Structure 1
Amino acid sequence: MPQLNPAPWFAILIFSWLVFTTVIPPKILAHTFPNEPTAQSTEKPKTEPWNWPWH
């Protein structure tokens, strides 16, 4: 039963993880966001109490 021999499958596992960790992250990090977030103002908006007409 060759599938019980871990030697080739372990090498394939290590090689595939090396490919995933060296090739894919730079490709993902190269993407840019079309809308850069803008800084919001630090002052709080002025809130007023509601005028309840039935109270």
Structure 2
Amino acid sequence: MPQLNPAPWFAILIFSWLVFLIVLPPKVIAHTFPNEPTLQSAEKPQTNSWTWPWQ
């Protein structure tokens, strides 16, 4: 089984991590959603208890 020279593989590893950590995050953060969520009111809706006919 041949032994691999670690020099080119280490450079590929470092370059791929640089791409993942420097190039991709700004592209992901710059993504905006077309529909921004709207804030709901802090007031809780009025809930009524059920009236069961058999109780």
Q: Normalization by structure 1: what TM-score?
A: 0.77
- Measure the CA separation in 1 of the matches of 2:39 and 2:18: 39
Unaligned runs of 5+ in 1: none
Q: How many residues align?
A: 54
The equivalent of 1:7 in structure 2 is 7
The equivalent of 2:17 in structure 1 is 17
The equivalent of 1:32 in structure 2 is 32
Report the structure, 1 or 2, having the larger helix content: 1
1:2-55 deviation digits (Å, cap 9, x = unpaired): 52x211111111011112211111111111011111111111111112122233
Pairwise CA RMSD of aligned residues? 1.4
Unaligned runs of 5+ in 2: none
